[in-house]
Amino acid sequence: LSVSFSQMHQAWLLETSLSSEMFAVNGKQLWLSDIQVSQWQDGVQVSGNLSSPVPLDEDDVRALKEELQERLQQPVRLEVGYRIQL
């Protein structure tokens, strides 16, 4: 039970941290919202909405995933819906 609570607490900390941050990827500003973090194989899954004031392509999303993996020091599975902010 304590391991489960610890994992829930870690997920909540990651969700809070990531949702309050602006990411600069390939010269574009990105924000994550409605984030959910869960354990996935040997890493974490990050799900949510990705917002940007400019169109994004696959390379931008891949670069965000790589940045998250570097920051979290573990493999990341990234599942995001995309929104354009105007």
Tokens of 11: 């997920």
pLDDT tens per residue across span 32-83: 999 999 988 889 999 999 999 999 999 999 999 999 999 999 999 999 999 8
Q: Beta 76-84 vs 43-52: how paired, if at all?
A: parallel
- Are 21 and 12 contacting, i.e. CB atoms less than 8 angstroms apart? no
- Are 76 and 61 contacting, i.e. CB atoms less than 8 angstroms apart? no
- Amino acid code (one letter) for 4: S
- Taking the model in full, what pTM does it have? 0.84
- Please give the full DSSP string across 9-50, using - where no structure is assigned: HHHHHHHHHHHT-EEEETTEEEEEEEEEEEEETTEEEEEEEE
Distance in angstroms (rounded) separating the CA atoms of residues 17 and 32 = 10
